[in-house]
Chain A
Amino acid sequence: MRRQLSVVLAEDAALLREGLVGILERAGHEVVAAVSDAEALLAYVARELPDVVVTDIRMPPTHTDEGLRAAARIRAEHPGIAVMVLSAYVAEAYVPELLDSAPHGGVGYLLKDRVGHVREFLESLDRVAAGETVVDPQVVRQLLGRRRDDGPLARLTEREREVLALMAEGRTNGSIAQELVVSEAAVRKHVGNIFIKLRLDAGSDRRVSAVLAYLRG
């Protein structure tokens, strides 16, 4: 039932790279290249045109945000290729950069520990490959904990914020309904209200835009 994906992987720590290759191949995906720096990543992506790119943020030579910049470039040059960025820690500062590179979804930002939850990780990968935006629940929780007195989110009710937070995690309406123990119709109503309050027009992918608005605060 799961679509087999071709994946280019970039991760400089050999241990994690091998682990990731193992997990991806177990799930039936094809790892066409596993590299250790951003330059090789860009080269392989241009040659192989994979379905998904999985990349660490920090890589040689400067160990800062090479992976992130490579991801943005890949999104710009090949909008059809989904990108999953892995981070070793919650760093809100990286989120806007990443989302700015992908106004139409197809990106993910996960903490590396999430990879350990193999099933969840593979599901997230599938969703990103299908064009959704997936942000690590822990990152979302952290952003949720932030209180803002101004900005568009102030217009939302507590419940609507909850729904939006779950949307940001990439949940479907059904899954959100389950989590909040309400009917799916109720969730749809909340989602509609969120779109209205955030003044999102019907033209764009409103679900993604709402999440972006949420994550930017």
Chain B
Amino acid sequence: MTRTPDAWAALRAHPWRYLGSRWPWGALAYLLTTVPIGIVMLVVLLGILFVGALTAVVVVGLVVLAGIPVLAGVLGVLERARLRLVQGAPASGMSLRERLRAGRRLPVSWPEVGYAFLVAVVLWPLDALVVLAVFVSVTLILAPLLATVDTFVMLGWEVEPGPEAWLAAAIAVPALPLAAYVVGVLAVAQAALARQLLSPRDAELAQAVADLRRSRVDLVDAFETERRRIERDLHDGVQQRLVALTMTLGSAELDVPEGPGLNLVRQAHRQAEEALEELRTTVRGIHPRVLADHGLAAAVHEIADRSLVPVTVEIRLDERLPAPVETAAYFVVSEALTNVARHSGARRAQVHGWRRAGSFILAVVDDGQGGAVVDRASGSGLAGLAVRLDALGGDLRVTSPTGGPTEVRMEAPCAGN
């Protein structure tokens, strides 16, 4: 027998399946437990309103009244959990602990407050009535038994032992399944209402996710802009000065006569050139010019040409990728090939890049010994790139079984570009 996922599904199924399932009992328990909860809520709410209204003049009352949303919140937590009795799963929402931690920053949830009043004023008396009806039905069924023990009075009807008691039972028997359905429908309706009022609204959640995503992309963008600025500053400032310095030293070499003086000038020239070369390497690591000018394929070819391990490059792109994707891809290749040269013992490597269904996919494969891992905690190298790709809505995967081969594969969405 297949299990029904919630009471509503069970209600719509074959009567035998509903009556035989656990859902009538769950619904009854739901309604039954609503009664004491509702009474407690009513008492506490009345207390708060009374005390609050009395003392409102002295401001303290306002603080007391502010307890209502807190109370509603606590009820909300309880009710979300209780939904399991009817709906199979509790509603999502903040736990009590999270709620307390969030403290005052949490805005008042008016649907929660509304639900609290609903429970206190409307729902529990209604539920009590239905539960009472069930209790009456059950008692009547037991009438033949009970009447023999003691005088049996139900709703002003003094039931005599014998035929009269059997009549009472006979009336009640068909009432039981009816009661099961009434209980079920009421519980399902009430649970749906609770979920409606207590579940965090999807639109708000979607908005929050969208905000979060945008702020992460903004961060990546800001980071990228900063890299470009640093690259430009170094390139247009320090690097130019060093080149000018080597030019001056080069001119001096022509003028200074052979001797120790000239040797020193030559030495200075050499040192200036070394500084220039170091600076150039640094600039390349920050943001390579050729990437900005000529795009990913040209820039990757350049990395491949510098690589000590022979690399074949095959990047098929009709047009430029969005800048963040391009930069991320460049650094993935750069980092992966650095690792290939340092750790893999590979004899050759391949870089493939292609578009597929609104995504750009890039794979760096080597024939080395494998065993590479991405240490996300370290935040360096490939791990940092994985985080960056994550922010772009893409991902980075490294498959590197012991013995190889190693594949570093990135995928990033680039639709509409």
The answer to whether the Cβ of A58 comes within 8 Å of any Cβ in the partner chain is yes
| Given A65-B293, A113-B273, CB of A16 within 8 Å of CB of B305 | no
Give the size category of B's interface with A: 35 or more
Which B residues are in CB contact (< 8 Å) with A16? 240, 243-244, 247
The answer to whether the Cβ of B250 comes within 8 Å of any Cβ in the partner chain is yes
| Given A64-B292, A91-B289, A119-B254, CB of A15 within 8 Å of CB of B240 | yes
The chain A residue sitting closest to B255, CB to CB, is A26
| Given A113-B273, A118-B250, A118-B253, CB of A19 within 8 Å of CB of B301 | no
Which A residues are in CB contact (< 8 Å) with B294? 91, 93-94
CA distance A64 to B305 in the complex (A): 21
| A23–B247 touching, CB < 8 Å | yes
| B305–A89 touching, CB < 8 Å | no
A97 to chain B, nearest CB (A): 9
The chain B residue sitting closest to A147, CB to CB, is B310
| B293–A112 touching, CB < 8 Å | no
Which B residues are in CB contact (< 8 Å) with A42? none
| B301–A92 touching, CB < 8 Å | yes
The answer to whether the Cβ of B399 comes within 8 Å of any Cβ in the partner chain is no
| A19–B293 touching, CB < 8 Å | no
Which B residues are in CB contact (< 8 Å) with A112? 243
The chain B residue sitting closest to A117, CB to CB, is B250
| B305–A113 touching, CB < 8 Å | no
Which B residues are in CB contact (< 8 Å) with A88? 235, 239, 243, 280, 289
| Given A119-B254, A146-B305, CB of A13 within 8 Å of CB of B249 | no
The answer to whether the Cβ of B251 comes within 8 Å of any Cβ in the partner chain is yes
Which A residues are in CB contact (< 8 Å) with B289? 58, 88-89, 91
| Given A89-B280, A93-B294, A93-B298, CB of A145 within 8 Å of CB of B305 | yes
Residue among B241, B247, B251, B292 with the highest chain A CB neighbour number at 10 A: B247
CA distance A2 to B72 in the complex (A): 95
Which B residues are in CB contact (< 8 Å) with A26? 251, 254
Which A residues are in CB contact (< 8 Å) with B320? none
CA distance A64 to B240 in the complex (A): 16
| A118–B310 touching, CB < 8 Å | no
| Given A117-B250, A147-B310, CB of A91 within 8 Å of CB of B290 | yes
The 8 A CB mask of B246-274 against A (1 = contact, 0 = none) is 11111101100000000000000100110
CA distance A112 to B299 in the complex (A): 20
CA distance A150 to B272 in the complex (A): 40
Which B residues are in CB contact (< 8 Å) with A113? 243, 246, 273, 276
A96 to chain B, nearest CB (A): 10
The answer to whether the Cβ of B98 comes within 8 Å of any Cβ in the partner chain is no
The answer to whether the Cβ of A156 comes within 8 Å of any Cβ in the partner chain is no
The answer to whether the Cβ of A174 comes within 8 Å of any Cβ in the partner chain is no
CA distance A90 to B251 in the complex (A): 23
CA distance A92 to B290 in the complex (A): 9
Which A residues are in CB contact (< 8 Å) with B241? 15
The 8 A CB mask of B277-289 against A (1 = contact, 0 = none) is 0001001100001
Which A residues are in CB contact (< 8 Å) with B283? 89
| Given A15-B241, A88-B235, A93-B301, CB of A116 within 8 Å of CB of B280 | no
The chain A residue sitting closest to B283, CB to CB, is A89
The answer to whether the Cβ of A134 comes within 8 Å of any Cβ in the partner chain is no
| B273–A142 touching, CB < 8 Å | no
| Given A15-B240, A93-B298, CB of A23 within 8 Å of CB of B305 | no
Per the 8 Å Cβ criterion, residues 117-154 of A in contact with B are 117-119, 121, 142-143, 145-147
The answer to whether the Cβ of B236 comes within 8 Å of any Cβ in the partner chain is yes
| A118–B305 touching, CB < 8 Å | no
| Given A15-B240, A64-B292, A118-B251, CB of A142 within 8 Å of CB of B306 | yes
A-B contacts, 11 listed (Cβ < 8 Å): A19-B248, A23-B247, A23-B250, A58-B289, A93-B293, A113-B246, A115-B243, A115-B246, A116-B250, A118-B250, A142-B306
Chain A residues close to B by CB (< 8 Å):
13, 15-16, 19-20, 22-23, 26, 58, 64-65, 88-94, 112-113, 115-119, 121, 142-143, 145-147
Closest 8 pairs between A and B when the two form their complex, measured CB to CB: A116-B246, A93-B298, A118-B250, A19-B247, A116-B250, A15-B244, A91-B290, A93-B294
- Beyond A91-B302, A115-B243: 16 further Cβ-contacts under 8 Å? A15-B241, A19-B247, A23-B251, A58-B289, A88-B235, A89-B283, A90-B302, A91-B289, A91-B290, A91-B293, A93-B290, A93-B293, A93-B298, A113-B246, A116-B247, A121-B250
